[in-house]
Amino acid sequence: MTNHSFEVGSGTARRYIHPVIKAGASAQVGENTANASDVAQQVNSVAMTGFSGGASKVLPNLSGGSNGIEAFSYADGLLASGQFDSLVNGHNAIKASFVAGAERRMIGTGVIGANYSEFATGQRTYTGSAQYSYTFDQATDVLLGLMDFSGYDALNPMALDFSIANAGQTMFSRSFITLSDARGFFVNNAINLGSFVGQVDLAINFSLTADVSQGAAFSYLLAAGSATIAPVPEPSQFAMLLAGLAVVSLTVHRRVRRP
């Protein structure tokens, strides 16, 4: 098992991070799907299921169709702080989500994607994931930067699902049925996951459900620092917000019906 640690800040403001990185990929296995398997590894993880071994650990160009892999996830946790600036070059929204001049440390970066198998018939689901387990000695913000996206849809509706969870509890989720909507979300977008201290087990999940030739992939980075954007609501807060909206809606409805 490989592990490493690094620190954010200096002096009494130091926040130590000790990450372990895993990547996983899976596909619905059937008689029409070749060489499908699940893979889980540690730092510098690579996981994929597919029918071609010609994969590279960068965002593939899927605009012309499949890259020959059913589901894939590449996760890298051995990153230096200087890599942040090179990764966010041309992604101003992500760069601006951190306080200018403040310390930023990379936790990890990767690519997740999926393609409908050339051997498949009928509906299939393909899933890629990356898990980042680490420990903060002091509270710090963690942001997910969604950098770039590529895909194809054969002019049919898509079913793409994206979610982020901590310790098995979903923090954020989005679903898409068109390439344009997905591209608008996955390109140059930052998500503040909140302030964390102690043990954190973040999972980034992505799935494609299709019955025709379709595929999609995105690249991302995970970094610690001081955020300039608001965090996503915690599940309990989101539930309270929905409950509040329901009460407001009911009150308005009753006023409208009142003679």
- Tens of pLDDT, residues 190-229: 999 999 988 899 999 999 999 899 999 999 999 988 999 9
Tens of pLDDT along 18-34? 567 777 777 654 433 43
Report phi then psi at 21, rounded to 5.
Answer: -110, 135
Report the predicted TM-score, pTM, of the whole model to 2 decimal places. 0.79
**C-alpha–C-alpha distance, residues 51 and 171, integer Å:** 33
Any bridge partners for residue 25, and if so which?
128
pLDDT along the chain (259 residues), means of 10: 38 53 65 42 52 58 87 78 82 93 84 88 88 85 95 87 95 94 96 92 93 94 91 60 49 47
- Specify the pLDDT at position 53: 41
20, 6 contact by CB (below 8 A): no
Q: For residue 225, which of 2, 8, 27, 26 has the smallest C-alpha distance?
A: 8
